[in-house]
Amino acid sequence: MTAKIILNPYSARWRAQERFPEASSALKNAGVAFEVVRSEKANDCVDLAEQAVKDGFSPIIAAGGDGTIGEVVNGIAKATPKGEDFSTFGILPLGTANDLVHNLGLPLELGEMAKVIASGKTRKMDLGAVNGRYFANNTALGLEPLVTVIQEGIGWLKGVPRYLYAALSAIQQGPSWHAEIKWDEGEYTGDVSLISVGNGAVTGGLFYMTPHANLFDGKLTFSFGYRESRLGLLATLPKLMDSDGKVFEEKEWLYEINTKKLSVKLIESSPAHTDGEIFSHELYEANYEIFPACLPVLVGE
Cα separation of 301 and 120, whole Å? 9
What's the residue count for the chain? Answer: 301
Q: Which of 262, 116, 234 is nearest to 175 (CA)?
A: 234
- The letter for the amino acid at 107 is P
Q: Which of 132, 129, 113 is nearest to 297 (CA)?
A: 113
Question: CA dist 164 to 132, 211, 223, 286, Å?
Answer: 30, 18, 20, 26
Q: Which of 97, 115, 93 is nearest to 28 (CA)?
A: 115
Question: CA dist 125 to 31, 135, 140, 176, Å?
Answer: 25, 12, 20, 33
Region class of 190: left (phi > 0), else alpha (psi between -120 and 50), else beta? left
Divide the 301 residues of the chain into consecutive groups of 10 and give the mean pLDDT of each group: 95 91 97 97 94 96 97 97 92 95 97 98 98 98 93 79 85 93 97 97 91 98 94 90 90 93 97 96 98 97 77
How many helices and strands (H and E) does the chain possess? Answer: 9, 14
Q: What is the pLDDT of residue 82?
A: 86
Question: CA dist 219 to 11, 63, 107, 203, 296, Å?
Answer: 29, 27, 25, 17, 17
Q: Please, which residues have CB within 8 angstroms of residue 234's CB and are 6 or more apart in sequence?
A: 168, 171
> 272 by DSSP, 3-state: which?
strand
Which segments of the chain does DSSP mark as H helices, in order? 15-29, 44-54, 66-79, 99-104, 110-119, 143-152, 159-172, 230-236, 246-250
How buried is residue 281: exposed, middle or buried, by Cβ count under 10 Å (0-12/13-18/19+)? Answer: exposed
Q: What is the pLDDT of residue 154?
A: 84
Q: How is 195-210 classified by DSSP, letter by letter?
A: EEEESSS-BTTTB-SS
Q: What is the pLDDT of residue 299?
A: 97
Cα separation of 181 and 175, whole Å? 18
Q: What is the pLDDT of residue 5?
A: 98
Q: Which residues pair with 91 in a beta bridge?
A: 62
- Cα 86 to the chain's mean position, in Å? 18
CB 144 within 8 A of CB 272: no
Q: What is the pLDDT of residue 64?
A: 97
Q: Tell me, yes or no, if the pTM score tops 0.85.
A: yes
Q: What is the pLDDT of residue 1?
A: 78
Q: Which domains does the chain have, with CATH numbers?
A: 3-120 (3.40.50.10330), 138-292 (2.60.200.40)
